[in-house]
Every structure is written in structure tokens, then in C-alpha cells.
A and B are shown apart, each in its own frame.
Chain A
Amino acid sequence: MAKITPLREAVASLVHDGDTVALEGFTHLIPHAAGHEIIRQGRRDLTLVRMTPDLIYDQLIGMGCAAKLIFSWGGNPGVGSLHRFRDAVEQSWPHRLEIEEHSHAGMANAYVAGASNLPFALLRGYTGSDLPKVNPNIRFIECPFTGEKLAAIPSVRPDVTVIHAQKADRRGNVLLWGILGVQKEAVLAAKRSIVTVEEIVDDLEAPPNACVLPSWALSAVCPVPGGAYPSYAQGYSERDNRFYKAWDPIARSRDSFQAWMQRHVLDTDDFAGFRRVLAESMKEAA
């Protein structure tokens, strides 16, 4: 059964230095609050996994939490580059970042394989691409029945997966809807899981076939209203496109990045504190 617990306690007990951690979300339901808490608690040497690393991964990488990144597309959607990610890859700042790079199809299949307790994922993929030349974890095998050449990549098996969802009931069953990305597969592929939710309700009122993650398949459920900000939670909040744009100049220089992280994340107690300070600094900027 999932423990319904404050986020700080869930991160303290479930995310350890050196862990492989997937904070998943495909534009929607990105677990920013949990990412901030990992930064506040100073986790180090993490192998971060994500199909679409965006701002929260830029922050984790820039703050030195990550030793390695397994990913398939790293950018600031609709805006441009992730400057901290680029600085880590291009200039090894704040330290060298090992990268293992895939395609979306590869990553999605690797999560499915992990959730299915298989050692590797099998797909028609990567043909003609240079990715197999730079990623030794992309290999090709022969179909035992037809002799066809197929791509094989290791399963993703995170120590911890972290996602954000719309709601949980009092027993810790979780309901999410809208764009689901690979969140269900990422949770089921992981040894431990943390789900932050917009609210805790008496009854999920989930129709049959809805995406419900049962409490007994999760480690911790943490109420964090707005915890996906600046991403969004369908039915609860809109994506704050202004923040995605504002992040570009903040992340461009090491100094402005560090000052911003100190004020907004390290010097705040929790996500509500972050939102308060952010509202102040955005008012100052305006």
C-alpha cells in the first residue's frame, strides 16, 4: 500500500544518492515539485531517465545532481535549448555528464520492457541512424522465426519513478488522465515510486478502463497542489508558457542560474514557498 505522506519525507526515504531515477511526464503532469525536493535534499550521482528532459532536468543537471542522463529529446519545448544540459555536455559544467541517447520509440519500448519484467526491448528502430554508433546499448538481433534484423535495447528499470497525477483517494489509489506519456509504464518498471497529486478525494469516480494506478503498486502518494507547475494538470491548471520563455535567459548563464536556484529552490522550504517567491520575483521583473 502507498503511504500518503509529505513529499519531503517521501524523497528522503525513497530517493538515494546513486539511484536511477525517472521523473516522467510528456509536457503534461511533469513532477516539478518532486524535482525541486530532490535538489533541496542535495542528491548526488543520480542516473536520470526521461524521454523528454525539460526544465526540471535542466535544474537537476545544473545543480550537480546527475552523473548520467538516459533520454531521447532534451529541449525547452517551443522555446529552444536547455542551457544547463548543453553546458554539461559541451563544457562538463558543473561536472561531466554521461549521456545515453535513444529515440522516443526506443525509450517507450524500454519502459514497456521494464514494466513487463523483460531484460530488453525489441523494436523496429534506429535503422540508418548513427545513434547505434554512439550508444553501445543499441544492438541488433535476428528474429528466431523470420531472420529479420530488429533493434534491441536494455529495459529501463529505475530504482525510483516519480510522476504527478490529478488525484488520489484516501487509500492511495491514483487517477490520471489527458496526455499520459509513459507514466504508467515508468511506475510499473520501477522498484519504488512516488506520485504527487493535485488533491486527495473520497472517491476517484474513475470509469472502467481509466488510468488508475492501484495503491498497492505505489510506494508513496504526496498531495502537492500545482506540483506540476510550470507544466500543467489537465482539469486543474494551464501550462505557464511565460515561465518556459522566462527560463531561457535565467539558464543561459551559470551565475544567473545559481542565483535563481538559491533564491527560489534552496532558500524555500517547499513548493508552496517556491510559488510565493516566484510570484514576487516575477512581479519585480514586470
Chain B
Amino acid sequence: MSSTETLDFTATEIMTVAASRLLKDGTVCFVGIGLPSTAANLARLTHAPDVVLIYESGPIGAKPTVLPLSIGDGDLALTADTVVGTPEIFRYWLQGGRIDVGFLGAAQVDRFANINTTVIGPYDAPKVRLPGAGGAPEIASQAKEVFIVLKQSPKAFVATLPFVTSAGYLDGGDARARAGIPGAGPTAVITDLGILTPDPVTRELTLTGIHPGVTVEQVKAATGWDLKISPDLKTTEIPDAGTLAALRDLHARTAAAHGQVGGEG
């Protein structure tokens, strides 16, 4: 990390900015709490003012003034275009096919972008019991595409997951389509080191973007499988001053409102 510290932004900041850039204006986005919510709100406050943020607790078109600490903060309801019940969110809006992008976090991902948020170790005798699925299995399958944002480490990026909570590309290739899963699946995994995208044929996650100051060796060392590197590897554009200022303002407002940095838990 020392190489990034010499630049004017942190590794978490460039991860958040890189993730937010992927969200196009006007996109309807189903937002997970934590890093996805930070990135989605940064997009809304910068290049994508008409992005529609939907949270599983019921707010549609939420425009929170500070980052929500939980998925059901009052600010989400007060700033939304409408608030519906949770069954309606999953039945009409997600299952109904109205979500362009599902924006998810994860405890672990594997080489085919499957997600684990359930257990580390055997299910019946877990070493670590994680919170569980939440909305992710159906978001991952029914959103038209999925972005996953998480910090990269050998513990988080594993060759094989102990438990597949939410489907990425399953065993790779056309396995996802054969399973009858409607959405295109994870099209980008954004980390604090770079951006991984699925190979068009094998669907194996490949490093296609690298953040400035990060080396390929660093990314490989933070990955639990032999990570393929794109021959066309691009260096992530440095965040512009306006975007960084917007992100820092958002965190400062959030800290003042919650007494802590919001949405990182």
C-alpha cells in the first residue's frame, strides 16, 4: 500500500471512485449497504445525478444527504420518491425485471465471481458464521448486471468458496445461462487494487484494470488463485479533485450525523 500513500488519495478512495464511475446516469440501481452504497451515492452526487437508488428496505429513488449506517435509515425514506414494503421491492421491482444494476459487497468471491456471505468452514460447524444472504441471491440473479465491490486479499479472493450464497458464473463458461439465471451476472469486481472482469468465454475473473501505484505482483499476491492478467491492462484514471472532494464531503457529513464513518460496516 505504501506506493499509493504517496499519491493524493487512499486505496479505499480510488476503489470507491472507480466503482462509482461504472454507474451511468439514469441507471436503476439496487444498492447494498456499505461500500456499494458509498459508491452509488458518490455517482449520484457527481456524474450521475439521475441514477435511481433502490434499497431493499423499501425506498425507491432515495437521495440520502448522508451515507446510511443501516439499510433502513430514516433519511432514505424521507428523501425517496416513494417507499414501498419489502415484499413489493423483491416481487415487483427486482423480480419484475426493473433493475439495471445490482451493486453488491461480499465477504468472499471466487474466480467465477460467485459470492459467499454465509459461512467460513463447514455449514454445520462453521469456523465463522457470517450474516447470511440478505437480498443478494436474487439481486445477483435478477438484476440485468451486477457490480461487486470489496477489498482484495487472499482470504477474500479464494479459488473455491466454502459456500456459494449468490451466483456469479457458477463453474464458468455458460453454466450461469444453463442454470436458467436471467441476468448477465457480475460484469465488474472493483477492489482497492484494480478492476477484475470476466473473460468473455471462460467467465474467469481477469485483471483488466489496475489502480495507479499498484503493481501486478501486488494484485497477484492478494488473490487466492493464479490470476490471469489482461494483455490490454489499463491503469485506472486518477480521481479528479472535484470527485475526491465530493467523496470526502460525503464522509465528513456522515461522520457528523452518525458520530462515525457511515456504511463501512
Contacts and interface: CB of A to CB of B under 8 A. Distances in A.
A75 interface: yes
B72 A105 contact: no
B123 interface: yes
B86 A108 contact: yes
B206 interface: no
Contact of A72 (B89, B91, B132): B132
Interface stretch (B73-81, B145-153, B235-243): B73-81
B178 to A, nearest CB: 10
Interface stretch (A158-166, A174-182, A263-271): A174-182
Nearest to A231: B72
B258 A105 contact: no
Given A79-B265, A102-B133, A241-B259, A130 B74 contact: no
Given A27-B57, A90-B126, A127 B87 contact: no
Contact of A86 (B85, B94, B129, B167): B129
Contacts of B158: none
- Among A71, A130, A234, the one with the most B-chain Cβ atoms within 10 Å of its Cβ is A130
Given A26-B58, A77-B265, A108 B70 contact: no
A185 B164 CA distance: 29
A242 interface: yes
Interface string A77-107: 1111110011001100000000001111100
Given A78-B69, A85-B129, A130-B165, A101 B179 contact: no
Nearest to A123: B95
Nearest to A124: B95
Contact of A149 (B74, B163, B180): B180
A72 to B, nearest CB: 6
A267 to B, nearest CB: 29
A111 interface: yes
A78 B138 contact: no
B131 A73 contact: yes
B56 to A, nearest CB: 6
A27 B33 CA distance: 12
Contacts of B131: 73-75, 81-82
A131 interface: yes
Given A89-B126, A128-B170, A178-B74, A26 B91 contact: no
Interface string A120-136: 00011111111100100
Given A90-B126, A90-B129, A179-B77, A103 B85 contact: no
A134 B152 CA distance: 28
B interface SS class: loop
Contacts of A181: 57-58, 72, 85-86
Contact of B87 (A109, A178, A238): A109
A148 to B, nearest CB: 8
A239 interface: yes
Nearest to B94: A105
A104 B74 contact: no
Nearest to B114: A128
A103 B126 contact: no
A73 B127 CA distance: 18
B136 interface: yes
A234 B77 CA distance: 9
A80 B33 CA distance: 12
A104 B182 CA distance: 18
B90 A104 contact: yes
Given A86-B129, A181-B58, A28 B83 contact: no
Contacts of B70: 27, 77-78, 239
B59 interface: yes
B72 A124 contact: no
B146 to A, nearest CB: 12
Contact of B166 (A26, A76, A129): A129
Interface in B106-156: 114, 118, 123-129, 131-138, 141-142
Nearest to A245: B260
Interface of A: 26-28, 51-52, 71-82, 85-86, 89-90, 101-105, 108-109, 111-112, 123-131, 134, 148-149, 178-182, 184-185, 232, 234, 238-239, 241-242, 244-245
6 contacts: A26-B58, A81-B129, A105-B91, A125-B137, A130-B165, A180-B58
Given A27-B73, A179-B59, A239-B73, 12 more contacts: A28-B57, A72-B133, A77-B265, A78-B33, A81-B131, A103-B135, A104-B56, A105-B135, A124-B95, A179-B72, A180-B84, A232-B74
The 10 tightest CB contacts between A and B, nearest first, are A27-B72, A128-B167, A77-B70, A75-B131, A78-B69, A73-B134, A105-B138, A105-B90, A78-B265, A108-B87
